[in-house]
Structure 1
């Protein structure tokens, strides 16, 4: 694998969107290069570390996981593990590995490698914000045979089996695990999946090469052999108009993020088509920084929630997206409709603010003790939901809250969010299990709310993972969602969907249970 500078990449590849002139397959009608347009830069390729969608869209192609999840049914199915058992308390999980799987460096995917990977994620700690929740209560793993692994938890972990289907717990070669975490982010890694890293130009282009020896697809995959496309190119193209134009003109084979206004043009019949699926997990949500004095007040947080008219957001959303009906998406196991808690009620918002001592000023924005009720929302300028935030700002202004929008470059956005330098952020976290709530809301989590004291919510979220009983688990989900909304720890906005544009002649691309594309089954006919 070669890591190139920007200059070297231009000299080696020429026009990025042309696919770098990859060679043709034996069949002259079949292309051996598939080029996909990323909407945001890639800053970390290590699936154990990164939670960001653009990064994981690439990393997903590099690793295989112990299990997979059927996107149609939610069923956990075999991948690198051919079978497994779970004890009655959900504290001991035993996996039997399929024979013959290897990492791209030729080392076997054996029990010792699985133990090393789980230990790696656990040891990364805060550097693995998703992995930290997936391995909550992890006591360790033991290779009980060459192909048998036992994983132990200190408390019931009903969510762990589903976690083994995620890219975050995808398996990396043991030699990779010894590398510096920053180097792994930059591309110094070897995986177990259908593709390997070829050339890496972070923020520009990532080129992957198919593994000729790959022969262990998951039970969900439709193709049993090596990838049909030999070279998979991810071209960073942040301008949505440029991506759409390149898709229509044939320079891109896949647009990984189609904007709503471009969807009507994706009609098929010789034109690109739309591949769309809702994303399970935490919906797009405004998350207040509760360490800020103003937002420490539940009345202000509640007023924000009551002021939002979610139905009015619909025209700004993509196909498959819809106003939130809970803190988790309707495609998430354990979801129930909590629309009763998400009603647009500006009169209730005004009462909450009045009771908290916030009075309308001369310009309609409320004031208290000489302080304006003005909040700042920080987010990445590459996000496609700027128009949604503008409408939300108008809705909040209607009840006397000024919302200042601050779209930032990725580096600045990441730095400010890491430092807690914001009033509000907007997050969505994809996972087809209700324990996804544990990645955002407890004190011992990513905790963008900057909560400091564990309380009822932490206990309710923890209860989601502590039982295998469906009824008790559903009750815990419902209680946690109710607390999140009632206390204003999160203001759900809308359910997100993956919306991909697929060029004519490209087929076999499919979306997994997290709404991320899989390319190992794809083929391209020019």
Structure 2
């Protein structure tokens, strides 16, 4: 893993930097972007992690794209589509001439195979399983026409086809094991192809010769102007930012709040947008005895003073005011219900029988109100978790932030060996709630019995009328908050620092950087 320091020279600083500097003198140049976390899986069908999907987005195309300004779904690999009145049958017409970088053509049978692959992955595709909920199968009507069917209305599916998780992989890729694909054994139809893959150090991509089918949102429909694109793993935010300012990086893909003042009209620029979807949320393991009680879960939310979070967040991030980000359809300002209320927290805990012990931590009999929050040590929010622990201590709740290496963190979360985890899920549609909260979802809450949360969230996907859908989202959000099933913390933002010499980088509707139109001046 690379840890840059601003004072080091280019060659000692970053293995790829010298090669990048040389490449800038060639046609199209090269661009090196600093990632804040290691890349753990490059298969978009499987991974939900932001840093992984930021890389995979450059490798795969989707059937459609979503305009981040209007939310409109526009053509990409599909030139047109039809949706029946019940939103149970979707028919796509594919673009001519599209191929994968291993030479295989994109046809209707390949689209069917990709959708079937995501369903077959099951729990290995925590996002894809939500996008394809109720999937009844797909058929190739002819070489360029695909029909996708659902058992029940799926108002969310068209938007789902714009997500990188439903990006198209070649038939040869689909025959590989999930592990092989995670490690980089993938061929997409996207504008870039994989070069060197060192998951804890860097991922190098090169522009694909002959690419000519970019999204309708792209200014450049052909081969990317940036011919060499490197994602360097730089976990130290000060080193990452310093290297951007010194010219050793072309982009910092996670700018912190305190570094915002470095950007202006001249010199490095800041590109920022709030990510739609589920805000960064503290999620309780409801199989734990103390956390089975909604009063305890709600008290934890009331004991947090979110107004103090801002200095510890990335640029553009802000305290949550709903379970959904402000850029998500169905968002509603619920800040009054998320306000700091230490008196209410004390009332709830007192009523539930939790009394302060001699060390200040509340207890009921021999059980202490003490919880572990497990997270990856490479996350940038360790200081925020420490602040949360201090705030909860004032209410008599002990929170122990527990940073783990990625493998251990994944194993602990997979087995349910935690009290709390914190997640965010990016998607420009309110059915994103279905990826976390229902029993039949990724279910980090370890819930076992479907209830009002499940039924209200399920309704969002089946309602077509906009006003009725808004009411369904409102009911789902209220069920989540009133039950303390999720404790919203802050809205995530994509805040990218760009060197002055870089132009044309844009953010898609999920806040992911798109380099199709990028240029680097020598």
* 2:259–2:315 contact (8 Å) kept in structure 1: no
Alignment of 1:203-242 (within 5 A): 203-242=200-239
Partner in structure 2 of residue 19 of structure 1: 17
Partner in structure 2 of residue 105 of structure 1: 102
Higher mean alpha-carbon deviation, 408-417 vs 132-141, is at 408-417
Aligned partners of 1:512, 1:93: CA distance in 2, in Å? 24
Alignment of 1:56-455 (within 5 A): 56-269=53-266, 271-455=267-451
* 2:100–2:188 contact (8 Å) kept in structure 1: yes
Higher mean alpha-carbon deviation, 315-324 vs 478-487, is at 315-324
Structure 1 residue 266, shift from structure 2 partner: 2.3
TM-score, normalized by length of structure 2?
Answer: 0.95
SS in 2 for 1:229: coil
Matched, 1:479 2:475: yes
Higher mean alpha-carbon deviation, 316-325 vs 93-102, is at 316-325
* 2:86–2:153 contact (8 Å) kept in structure 1: yes
* CA distance 1:283–1:111, change in 2 (3 Å): same
Q: 1:286-315, CA deviations, whole angstroms, 9 ceiling, x for partnerless residues?
A: 000000001011110010011112222223
* 1:122–1:131 contact (8 Å) kept in structure 2: yes
SS in 1 for 2:159: helix
SS in 2 for 1:387: helix
SS in 1 for 2:127: helix
Structure 1 residue 190, shift from structure 2 partner: 0.3
Structure 1 residue 466, shift from structure 2 partner: 0.6
Partner in structure 2 of residue 513 of structure 1: 509
SS in 2 for 1:129: coil
* 2:20–2:32 contact (8 Å) kept in structure 1: no
Q: 1:61-84, CA deviations, whole angstroms, 9 ceiling, x for partnerless residues?
A: 000000000011111110000110
Aligned partners of 1:144, 1:303: CA distance in 2, in Å? 55
SS in 2 for 1:465: helix
Aligned partners of 1:278, 1:205: CA distance in 2, in Å? 26
* 1:268–1:504 contact (8 Å) kept in structure 2: no
* 2:20–2:31 contact (8 Å) kept in structure 1: no
Aligned partners of 1:49, 1:268: CA distance in 2, in Å? 39
Matched, 1:465 2:461: yes
Structure 1 residue 28, shift from structure 2 partner: 4.2
Aligned partners of 2:83, 2:28: CA distance in 1, in Å? 44
Aligned partners of 2:104, 2:447: CA distance in 1, in Å? 44
Matched, 1:54 2:47: no
Structure 1 residue 23, shift from structure 2 partner: 8.1
Structure 1 residue 129, shift from structure 2 partner: 0.5
Aligned partners of 2:12, 2:185: CA distance in 1, in Å? 24
Number of residue pairs aligned between Structure 1 and Structure 2: 512
Aligned partners of 2:82, 2:51: CA distance in 1, in Å? 34
Q: Where do 5+ consecutive residues of structure 2 fail to align? A: 1-10
* CA distance 1:359–1:116, change in 2 (3 Å): same
Q: 1:77-130, CA deviations, whole angstroms, 9 ceiling, x for partnerless residues?
A: 100001101001110000011111111122221111111111111111111110
TM-score, normalized by length of structure 1?
Answer: 0.95
Q: Where do 5+ consecutive residues of structure 1 fail to align? A: 1-12
Aligned partners of 1:130, 1:447: CA distance in 2, in Å? 12
* 2:273–2:494 contact (8 Å) kept in structure 1: yes
Structure 1 residue 318, shift from structure 2 partner: 3.1
RMSD (Å), alpha carbons: 1.6
Structure 1 residue 319, shift from structure 2 partner: 3.1
Aligned partners of 2:95, 2:470: CA distance in 1, in Å? 33
* 1:64–1:170 contact (8 Å) kept in structure 2: yes
Higher mean alpha-carbon deviation, 201-210 vs 129-138, is at 201-210
Partner in structure 1 of residue 499 of structure 2: 503
Aligned partners of 2:398, 2:102: CA distance in 1, in Å? 55
Q: 1:120-165, CA deviations, whole angstroms, 9 ceiling, x for partnerless residues?
A: 1111111111000000010111011111100000111111000000
Higher mean alpha-carbon deviation, 84-93 vs 302-311, is at 302-311
